[in-house]
Structure 1
Amino acid sequence: MRSFDIVDVLIEQHDHMRRLCAEVKRSHGPARRRLFAELNRLVNVHELGDRRIVHPAARNSGAAGDAVGVACMTEEGTIERAFAALTALGVEHGSFDARFAAAHDALLAHHAHEERDEFPLLRTHVGTQRRHMMVGELHDLQVMAG
């Protein structure tokens, strides 16, 4: 069932990225290239949505939200650079597995940080109607970006 709450949608996207990471790890050849490209696209459009829609809402919730939002944006920059480097490297490169493992760990830590610290702020300080509107904004942004 499709959720109309931004937090639920983001958690679904996190779960999808976790599954794709596992598939990339166990795949090879053309399948790995395709899966990594899909993961890379999802990471990039997800993080764009975070920067444009999610973090501003969290940052507006007060000092704690501002600190969490800034920390999450810093983590995202690191993740985006890691995925860009992996894309340039290519899935066939000998160091891809080790570098992908590091990027995967960073992505999991970032998702855990958002789910633990940012999402409760959104549920507490952003009204239900606004969280529902954010789903539409996120969808439109991600479709246009990707």
Structure 2
Amino acid sequence: MAGTTDQDVIELLLVQHEQIRALITQVRTETGDVKRESFEDLLRLLAVHETAEEEVVHPTARRKIANGERVVDARLNEESQAKDELSELYDLGVDHSEFDTRFAALADAVEKHASHEESEEFPGLRRELPADDLQKMAGAVRAAEAVAPTRPHPAAGESAVAQMLLGPPVAVFDRVRDAFRDWGKTNKGS
């Protein structure tokens, strides 16, 4: 994931939000293999990003910010819906006749989700936590992302406990699948 070790968690997540927005634009505007690869990159980024938020950021926000329960529950609901739709879009494939319409709806939902985090959750965390804690949280997010699944797994749920128990074994499966896919791409002509 992007970022430097001196970033705090909010700076790190904002950089990732911009990467997500850029990948959404690529999926909307590209065709063929470039579109497929951009969608796969978006899928991976969203999967690890949301897993890390569910393990590290949301539990802290729930405890520390004003109206934390309400804010986090709304974000988890949005993330659950996005996982379901991402999984279905992945199964459909970028060449399916319904993909672009369904992707447009998902992209709008992802943008609203990011905007809600940026306007409700992140300012509360910045207000309530010392800078040192925010920087340590960035390290925890990076660690969570390193072992996070690279595909959405809606059945796993959104709780931090579920992500920590199910995430690493599922992540191994996802990363092996990714390695085979990437190997296959580079060895087509061999």
Q: Same fold (TM over 0.5)?
A: yes
Report 1:7-46 matches (<5 A).
7-46=10-49
Aligned equivalents of 2:73 and 2:128: distance in 1? 17
Alignment TM-score, normalising by the size of structure 2: 0.74
Deviation (angstroms), 1:63? 5.0
Structure with bigger RCO (C-alpha 8 Å, 6+ apart): 1
For structure 2, the 5+ residue unaligned runs are 151-190
Aligned AA (1:30): D
Q: Which runs of 4+ in 1 moved over 4 A?
A: none
- The answer on whether the counterparts of 2:66 and 2:124 sit within 8 Å (CA) in structure 1 is no
Q: Deviations over 1:108-138 (max 9, x none)?
A: 0000000010001100112211111111111
Report 1:62-141 matches (<5 A).
62-141=65-144
Aligned equivalents of 1:116 and 1:81: distance in 2? 24
- The answer on whether the counterparts of 1:68 and 1:117 sit within 8 Å (CA) in structure 2 is yes
Aligned AA (2:105): A
Aligned equivalents of 1:52 and 1:143: distance in 2? 12
Question: What number of residue pairs does the alignment pair up?
Answer: 146
Alignment TM-score, normalising by the size of structure 1: 0.96
**Correspondence 1:61 to 2:64:** yes
How many percent identity over aligned positions?
36
Max radius of gyration: which structure? Answer: 2
Q: Give RMSD over aligned pairs.
A: 1.2
